[in-house]
Amino acid sequence: MNRTTALVVALAILLGHALAIHKNALNEIAPPYDMAYVAFRVARNFVQGGEFAWQSGSFGLDSYPSVLWVGVAAIGERLYMPVNELCQAVGFAAALACVLVLARFSPERLAGVIAPLLFVVSGGVASAALSGLETSLLALWILVALLAYERGRPRTMAVGLMLAALTRPQGLVFALLLLAVELGRRALARGRESRPTMWLAFAAPLAIGLGLALLRPSATGRNLSAWDEM
């Protein structure tokens, strides 16, 4: 079996696994998880009333932590598309893209498809793919950033980290952890490093985190949201 065939099999396994897990009593694709409807409501209020909020006077990020996922739902709301199906489709497409990105970590060897195959048989991955939540999208941006970091591509890594930070607060945590790895690697190299500098790649996600940190006190009077305090 060559790599292309193995990847096609992996994608088919993910499709079958996701459909097997995320179905209702009628064996149809189940609706999104309950938490997803919070993002859908914030998006509807933003499109129809111009307020990024669960209800008038509240702060949207205290209702749902993903700016990017609310944006995806807002696109569906603006274009009069079924938001439920759109978000489930975007999440599933992101899960499929994760398989392809994982395969790029070792593109020259058949063994490089082991990670994608392990990925698609995970119950958590299959459940998240059609959940209507931003989980698969966050995984995709993290994988893109990791691959770019391994290949020494700071611009691509910056885009991945920025999108991860916009997708979930955990994306910013990942960026900080990757920054710690870079600092440690540079310290161990002690001037023998030939890779291009990666410092600027961390500027975008850190700027997003700082911007949200400054915006929240002015909007709510608190430094941390309920999501961060949990």
Neighbouring-strand partners of residue 29? 23
pLDDT (tens digit, 9 = 90+) per residue, 133-176? Answer: 999 999 999 999 999 998 889 899 999 999 999 999 899 999 99
Cα(226)–Cα(195) distance, rounded to whole angstroms? Answer: 40
Q: In the numeric block, which tokens belong to residue 139?
A: 């995984």
- Nearest Cα neighbor of 140 from 176, 179, 90 is 90
Joined together, the tokens standing for residue 207 give 């700027």
For tokens 């409807």, what's the residue?
37
In whole angstroms, give the CA distance from residue 211 to residue 57.
20
Bridge partners (DSSP) of residue 23 are 29
DSSP string, 179-230: HHHHHHHHHHHTT---SPP-GGGGHHHHHHHHHHHHHHHHHHS-SS-HHHH-
Place of tokens 């807002």: 74
Residue written as tokens 């439920």? 84
Alpha helices per DSSP H over 104-168: 114-120, 123-129, 135-151, 154-167
Tokens of 180: 């710690």
What is the pLDDT tens value at each position of the chain, 230 positions in all?
Answer: 577 888 899 999 999 999 999 988 888 889 999 999 999 999 999 999 888 888 876 666 777 888 899 999 999 999 999 999 999 999 999 999 999 999 998 877 766 788 888 999 999 999 999 999 999 999 999 999 999 998 889 899 999 999 999 999 899 999 999 999 888 887 777 766 666 667 888 888 888 888 877 776 665 555 555 555 44
Q: How far apart are CA 55 and CA 165, in angstroms?
A: 24
Alpha-carbon dihedral angle through residues 102, 158, 152, 139, given to the nearest 10 degrees = -10
